Amino acid sequence: MSKKILSLFVSLIILSTSALAGSEYEKVTQKLKELHSANPNVSELFVLGKNDQDQDIMGITIRLGGNERTTTNDALVVGTHHGNEKGSTDVALAFAENVLKRKTYRLKGKTLYVIPVLNISGYNVSERHEKNSKGEWLDANRDYPDPCRPRKESFELKSTAALKDFIEDHKKISTAITIHGYIGTLTFPWGTYTENTSSYDHAKFLKLAEEAAEMNDYQVGTHADVIYPAVGAFEDWTYWHYGIWALLVEVDYQYDRLKDAEAIEKFITYAPTRRSTRHSHKGPCKLVRGDNSRP
């Protein structure tokens, strides 16, 4: 085979792979459109913003009840910070589908915002990281301010910056769930490098997580204790900065999408309808090897 023919053959493979990859997120947006079309009275589609490739990050709003609410009673569910954790997308869609199908009474009065895929570029090629405008691959769930590294660079991705703007514009959000994979855990702050992993709300977080875990039998606790510490995660930032009751769902390798969706629903149901007022970080923080920054 000549070099010219070989080069053409390789190019065709790349183009074919790219077309297939590009269709992956289109399947998600098509599912969102179908959910809205079947439930036009209680749902609407929205665009969170554009990512670094100028693609629209789509979500669905589900309204279950009246508009006369005085508490911060709404919930945000975000899937796929990491593009290779496609089970998180599946569970986010299952949650939206399940809620719309049953219109469960215990969620009445809440508005739910579901974003199945935050990291589109990674999702399309099953890559954990997300590509920024410079062509660099970054970890989206390390792109947030951190109580133990407040001066670290953050919001380098347009997707995470758009999520920040969304939260700041929707001040009635009191609960936030992010979905990952594949460990089988329900974890909450703190997840950063700290000597005291318990927040002021630790007892409440633990009770909520234990109640949610009745649906899928996952292990519960702080992220730092149950999984590993990490700097710049969404959950720590959302709780630390806003007092939002944040939960990280790590679906199991052999997950049950409906059980995981029901666990999310249960956490949202019983989470406080007002943001925490004692969400500061108690410290002390730990230094990471090779990191000379100070909290």
Rounded to whole angstroms, how far apart are CA atoms 130 and 141? 10
Q: Tell me: the pLDDT tens digits for 63-81?
A: 987 544 445 689 999 999 9
Q: How far apart are the first and last CA of the chain?
A: 60
Average pLDDT on 11-36 reads 70
Return the CA Rg of the chain.
Answer: 20
Rounded-to-10 torsion of CA 259, 260, 266, 267? 160
Amino acid at 49: G
Lookup: tokens for 132? 């920024």
CB atoms within 10 A of CB 159: 29
Taking the whole predicted model, whether its pTM rises above 0.75 is answered as yes
Does residue 105 register a pLDDT over 80? Answer: no
Question: Per-residue pLDDT tens for 166-180?
Answer: 999 999 999 999 999
The pLDDT tens digits of the residues spanning 183-207 come to 999 999 999 999 999 999 999 999 9
